[in-house]
Amino acid sequence: MHMTQTPPIFDRMTALADTTRSRMLLVLERHELTVNEIRAVLQLPQSTVSRHLKVLGDQGWVVSRPEGTSRRYRMTEKLEPSVRRLWHLVREQVVATSAAAQDSRRVQSVLAHRRTRSQKFFSSAAGQWDRLRGELFGSRSDILGLLGLVDESWRVGDLGCGTGQLSELIAPFAGNVVAVDDSAAMISAARKRLASFDNVAVRPGRLEALPIEDGSLDVALMFLVLHYVVEPELALAEAHRVLKPGGRLILVDMMPHDRQDLLHEMGHVWRGFSEEQLSELLQAAGFPGARYHPLPADASARGPTLFTAVARRAFAARPHELDADATGSPAPFALSA
């Protein structure tokens, strides 16, 4: 009887026909990482990482070597030409996904962490400081201290305030805070948390029709809320309406990602926002020239990478910059944008 032999490349294909494994290989093509580091980059449980690594190892995609008490994994360099062509084809597809973009950001933070560790090893005092600082004062003391940048005259809007964490942080530094949310449960939790502040007003309301007066805020905060808003352009137009000329909108949200579970389990409407998408939305709402900053990935966080965007409502044009009318007197004072 004639036996058909399976071409060896079929085995190699099985290993690649899985999004997680091909993402893993993309990372291991450029970096040699431990299981723990791969776990932090791909945001997967250690057992899942080990299982995928085993498949990739068994089918000749990945090799490892011991280092100290752990092992480091990388993609093998010895690939036959046909297998290499297969990988290039798959890589071309994987590299274009938002998951791969997120992975590559997290690799940078994992490598930075490794560098800190080796610095610690080689130069005692400077290398010890980051760890010691965290141990003595906690990991947020730098950011919390920077709240001193908030001016005591500012009126701040915490739009989509949830349980009021941001309002609680900023209230001791700002003039006053108005916190808005449309969930009765969140409003009641925020009221409880913020009860001791006499400069905080908690108001039920929707981002699309804010219960805030025109041109009354110095700063509007929208943290982790825009991805819930079906028509973000309405919420941004409202933020523009309630800000003073020159007032700032600070937005924190997720960068584009492909985490289906967040849509299903947490009711997210948007899978993050790219710089281009957000600047178009902001521009349309009257905020020109917004800045978009990816936030450094936190290796202990399970969610997608965040960005912060800062936009300003345009200042009023000064009277001498406006066209003079026929009588030579300046045109009436007007707001630009």
Ligand X SMILES: C[S@@+](CC[C@H](N)C(=O)[O-])C[C@H]1O[C@@H](n2cnc3c(N)ncnc32)[C@H](O)[C@@H]1O
Nearest distance, CB of residue 252 and ligand X, angstroms:
7
Which 217-276 residues touch ligand X, going by CB under 6 A?
Answer: 223-225, 228-229
Binding track over 128-167 against ligand X, x by CB under 6 A: --------------------------------xxx--xx-
- Give, for 152, the enclosing helix (H) or strand (E): none
**One of 186, 278, 290, 309 touching ligand X (CB under 6 A):** 186
| Listed ranges 14-22, 23-31, 49-57, 175-183: which one lies at the site for ligand X (CB under 6 A) | 175-183
Answer yes or no whether residue 308 interacts with ligand X by CB under 6 A: no
**One of 104, 183, 188, 283 touching ligand X (CB under 6 A):** 183
Number of residues that bind ligand X (CB under 6 A): 17
Nearest distance, CB of residue 130 and ligand X, angstroms:
26
226/331 Cα distance (integer angstroms): 38
Residue nearest to ligand X (CB): 162
| Listed ranges 37-45, 181-189, 293-301, 321-329: which one lies at the site for ligand X (CB under 6 A) | 181-189
Which 318-337 residues touch ligand X, going by CB under 6 A?
Answer: none
The DSSP letter of residue 63 is E
Positive or negative torsion for Cα 307, 181, 236, 201: negative
- Give, for 56, the enclosing helix (H) or strand (E): helix 46-58
Q: What share of the chain is helix, strand, coil (3-state, %, to 5)?
A: 45, 20, 35
Nearest distance, CB of residue 284 and ligand X, angstroms:
18
Answer yes or no whether residue 307 interacts with ligand X by CB under 6 A: no
Between residues 208 and 258, which has the closer beta carbon with respect to ligand X?
A: 208
Nearest distance, CB of residue 333 and ligand X, angstroms:
33
**Contacting residues for 46 by C-beta, under 8 A, at least 6 apart:** 35, 36, 39
- Give, for 317, the enclosing helix (H) or strand (E): none
Q: Measured at the alpha carbon of residue 111, what is the angle toward residues 105 and 116, in degrees to the nearest 5?
A: 130
Contact between residue 63 and residue 26 where contact means Cβ atoms under 8 Å apart: no
Contact between residue 272 and residue 256 where contact means Cβ atoms under 8 Å apart: yes
Nearest distance, CB of residue 172 and ligand X, angstroms:
18
Nearest distance, CB of residue 177 and ligand X, angstroms:
13
Residue 113's SS3 state is helix
**Contacting residues for 127 by C-beta, under 8 A, at least 6 apart:** 116, 119, 120, 121
Nearest distance, CB of residue 170 and ligand X, angstroms:
12
Which 3-32 residues touch ligand X, going by CB under 6 A?
Answer: none
140/138 Cα distance (integer angstroms): 6
Between residues 37 and 157, which has the closer beta carbon with respect to ligand X?
A: 157
Q: How far is CA 253 from CA 110, 179, 182, 216, 225, in A?
A: 22, 18, 19, 24, 7
| Listed ranges 14-22, 100-108, 113-121, 180-188: which one lies at the site for ligand X (CB under 6 A) | 180-188
What's the distance, CA 299 to chain centroid? 13
Question: Directed axis angle between helix 98-122 and helix 124-137, to 10°?
Answer: 120
Between residues 59 and 270, which has the closer beta carbon with respect to ligand X?
A: 270
Between residues 94 and 236, which has the closer beta carbon with respect to ligand X?
A: 236
Nearest distance, CB of residue 157 and ligand X, angstroms:
11
Would you tell me which residues interact with ligand X (CB under 6 A)? 160-162, 165-166, 181-183, 186, 206-208, 223-225, 228-229
